C-alpha cells in the first residue's frame, strides 16, 4: 500500500479545504431529523452541488468531478475536519447511485442522478418490513405486473429519511411462486407522494422522526422505475449492502474528526488523574487511525481491481461499535453537561396510541450522522445516533455470522 499522495492529489485536498473554509456554515444547522433541519440540509446539498462538491467521484455529466477513490477519501477527511453538516442525501448518493451505476439504464442515470446531486430529490431507503429486517428474503410487500408497470402493496418500516424525503427505493416480491425466498424479488423506485402511499413517522429515542413506516395501497410504478431485470432484486440488493457496510456508509474522515474533537475535550476538561478515561480517549484516537489505515488498504485493493466482498462486514462491525465507544467516552468526560439536549421530544413524536413498530431497526436503514460541531448537545445527539449502528445496515450478529462462515471458513451455526 502506497501511503503517499501525488502532487495532483495534494492540490485537490487544498482546493477542497479552501472551498470548505469559505462555505461551511459558521453555526451548526438544525438537526436534519426535523422539518426545519431537513430543509436547511437540502439547501446545503444545493450549495455543495453548485461548485461540484456534492458527489466528487461521479462523472461530470451527472454533477461530479470524475475523481477516483483516493480523492473521494481525501475530500471526506477534509469535509469532516471542517465541521461540515451531515449529508441528508446520503441514502441516494451512497446506496442508490452506486446501484444505478452498476444496474441502471442510461435513461435512469440521466433522470435520477443530477437532481439527487443537487439535493432537489432526497431519497429514502425502503427495504425492511415488520417481519423482514435483517432477513430481507422474507419480505412480503408485493409488486404485481400490470400494463405499463407495476402495482405495489404492503408495508415498509424503519425507512430512513422517509419522514421528509421525496422518493424511495426498495424490493418487492414479484413472483410468489419462486422456488426460493430470495428469488422473484424486484428492485423498484417510487415517489412518496404518489396516490396510495401513506408515510407515518417513527420517533427516535429523542423523539425526532429519523425513520418512518410506509403503507402502500395499490401504488402504480411505471416500468422505467424498475432497476435491473424483474425478479433479480436480491442480486442487486446484495451489491447495495456491500456499499452500505463497506466504504461508503461511514468514511474514516468522520471518525478522525470525532476523535480529534474528543481529544480537544480531554485537553480542555479531562482530569489527568483519571487514567481509565484517559486510556479510553487514547483508544478512540488509535481506533480512528486504525480504521483510516484499514480503509486506505481497501481503497488500494479497489484500485487494483479487487472487491471487498464479505470483508465489508469487518468494516461494519468495527465502525458501528467504535462509534458508541467514542461517544460514551465523550459523555463520561463531560458529565452532566454532555447530556443536555436542545429540547424534549417534540411534535414529530408519534401520537399516543400510534401502532408501535413490529420489529427492531432493520438491515439497511442507514441514517446520516448528525452534524459535526463541537457543542455538548452534539455529543448527546451523536450518542443517540450511534446506538442504532450495530442494528441498521444488517445487525452485527448477522455480520459476525458472515465473517465466521465466509472469511474464517467456520461451519454454519443454527439460526
Q: Which residues are catalytic?
A: 244
Which residue has cell 423506485? 189
Inter-residue contact 252 to 77 (CB < 8 Å): yes
Amino acid at each position: 500500500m502506497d501511503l503517499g499522495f501525488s502532487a495532483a492529489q495534494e492540490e485537490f485536498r487544498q482546493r477542497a479545504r479552501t472551498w470548505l473554509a469559505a462555505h461551511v456554515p459558521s453555526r451548526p444547522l438544525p438537526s436534519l431529523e426535523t422539518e426545519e433541519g431537513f430543509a436547511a440540509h437540502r439547501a446545503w446539498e444545493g450549495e455543495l452541488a453548485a461548485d461540484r462538491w456534492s458527489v466528487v467521484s461521479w462523472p461530470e455529466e451527472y454533477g461530479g468531478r470524475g475523481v477516483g477513490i483516493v480523492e473521494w477519501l481525501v475530500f471526506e477527511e477534509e469535509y469532516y475536519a471542517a465541521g461540515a453538516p451531515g449529508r441528508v442525501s446520503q441514502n441516494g448518493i451512497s446506496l442508490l447511485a452506486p446501484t444505478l451505476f452498476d444496474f441502471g439504464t442510461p435513461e435512469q442515470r440521466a433522470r435520477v442522478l443530477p437532481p439527487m446531486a443537487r439535493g432537489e430529490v432526497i431519497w429514502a431507503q425502503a427495504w425492511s418490513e415488520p417481519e423482514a429486517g435483517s432477513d430481507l428474503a422474507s419480505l412480503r410487500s408485493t409488486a404485481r405486473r400490470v400494463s405499463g408497470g407495476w402495482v405495489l402493496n404492503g408495508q415498509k418500516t424503519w425507512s430512513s429519511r422517509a419522514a421528509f424525503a421525496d422518493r424511495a427505493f426498495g424490493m418487492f416480491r414479484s413472483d410468489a411462486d419462486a422456488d426460493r425466498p430470495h428469488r422473484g424479488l424486484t428492485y423498484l423506485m417510487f415517489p412518496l407522494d404518489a396516490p396510495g402511499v401513506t408515510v407515518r413517522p417513527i420517533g427516535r429515542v429523542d423523539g425526532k422522526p429519523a425513520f418512518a413506516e410506509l403503507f402502500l395501497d395499490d401504488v402504480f410504478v411505471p416500468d422505467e422505475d424498475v432497476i435491473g431485470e424483474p425478479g433479480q432484486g436480491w442480486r442487486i440488493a446484495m451489491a447495495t449492502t456491500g456499499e452500505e457496510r463497506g466504504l461508503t456508509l461511514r468514511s474514516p474522515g468522520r471518525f478522525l474528526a470525532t476523535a480529534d474533537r474528543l481529544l480537544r475535550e480531554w485537553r480542555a476538561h479531562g482530569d489527568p488523574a483519571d487514567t481509565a478515561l484517559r486510556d479510553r480517549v487514547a483508544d478512540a484516537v488509535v481506533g480512528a487511525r486504525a480504521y483510516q489505515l484499514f480503509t486506505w488498504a481497501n481503497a488500494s485493493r479497489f484500485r487494483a481491481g479487487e472487491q471487498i466482498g464479505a470483508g465489508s462486514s469487518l468494516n461494519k462491525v468495527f465502525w458501528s461499535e467504535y462509534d458508541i465507544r467514542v461517544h460514551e467516552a465523550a459523555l463520561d468526560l463531560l458529565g452532566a453537561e454532555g447530556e443536555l439536549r436542545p429540547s424534549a421530544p417534540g411534535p414529530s413524536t408519534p401520537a399516543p396510541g400510534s401502532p408501535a413498530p413490529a420489529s427492531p431497526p432493520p438491515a439497511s436503514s442507514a441514517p446520516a450522522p448528525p452534524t459535526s460541531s463541537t457543542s455538548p448537545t452534539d455529543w448527546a445527539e451523536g450518542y443517540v445516533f450511534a446506538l442504532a449502528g450495530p442494528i441498521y445496515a444488517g445487525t452485527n450478529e448477522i455480520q459476525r455470522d458472515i465473517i465466521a462462515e465466509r472469511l474464517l471458513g467456520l461451519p454454519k451455526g443454527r439460526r
